Amino acid sequence: MTRRPTTRLAGALAATVLVLGTAACSEDPNSIAAQAKAGDQKGYISGDGAVETIAVADRGEPVTLEGELVGGGTWASASARGTDVVVLNVWGSWCAPCVAEAPDLQKVWSDLQAEDEPVQFMGIDFREGPASGAAFAKKAGITYPSLSDKAGVLILDLQGKAPTVPTTLVLDLEGRIAARVNGPVSASTLRGLVDDVLAQS
């Protein structure tokens, strides 16, 4: 007679666990994807700007990245291999730190272009349509191209090195990740990282 209440209690507990488990699997409102969908730039949490440099001997396989450009056309990271250092910047116009760092990225890009350095910049417009990305780039005066990543899948090709938006990666001439900034980057920091990788070439 004492087993029936115990069985009922166990069933109730199991149901509670199931409900909690289902709730835990629902989309986190603070996730990058949820904030991108909201588009209001509220409550956004990005990286702290920590800089990671990777010694030449410790670098992994080359990044293989390709896709459609925001303004039309296509690009593949392999096209720069052996000739250019590549700066990849993951951004979105819905991301306040991305908006704040845009002038710094443009400044470094413009300076490197003026100095005829073998460097390419490529943005990755994360979780928004190409029209929105193009409108922001035009308004912000960004002159380097960006890949459109509305589905949020291109960052999967970045070897786990882009957990937050913004993230900036510097690839060496072999296409390997040589440096990373997890969060907003300043012009001086980015230029220093690029110069270091150029000096290794």
Output the pTM of the full model.
0.78
Residue showing tokens 């937050």: 164
In the three-class reduction of DSSP (H, G, I as helix; E, B as strand; rest coil), residue 124 is classed as strand
Residue 75's beta-bridge partner residues? Answer: 67
Joined tokens for residue 132: 């929105």
Joined tokens for residue 171: 């690839």
Give the up-direction half-sphere exposure of residue 97: CA atoms within 13 A in the CB hemisphere. 23
Residue 162: the pLDDT is 95
Residue 117: Cβ-neighbour burial (10 angstroms; 0-12, 13-18, 19+): middle
Residue 156: the pLDDT is 95
The pairing of strands 85-91 and 119-126 is parallel
- Please give the chain's pLDDT, 201 residues, in tens: 444 444 443 444 343 333 333 333 334 444 444 444 544 444 445 677 899 999 999 999 999 999 999 999 999 999 999 999 999 999 999 999 999 999 999 999 999 999 999 999 999 999 999 999 999 999 999 999 999 999 999 999 999 999 999 999 999 999 999 999 999 999 999 999 999 999 998
Q: Are the C-beta atoms of 154 and 169 separated by less than 8 Å?
A: no
Residue 69: the pLDDT is 97
Residue 10: the pLDDT is 42
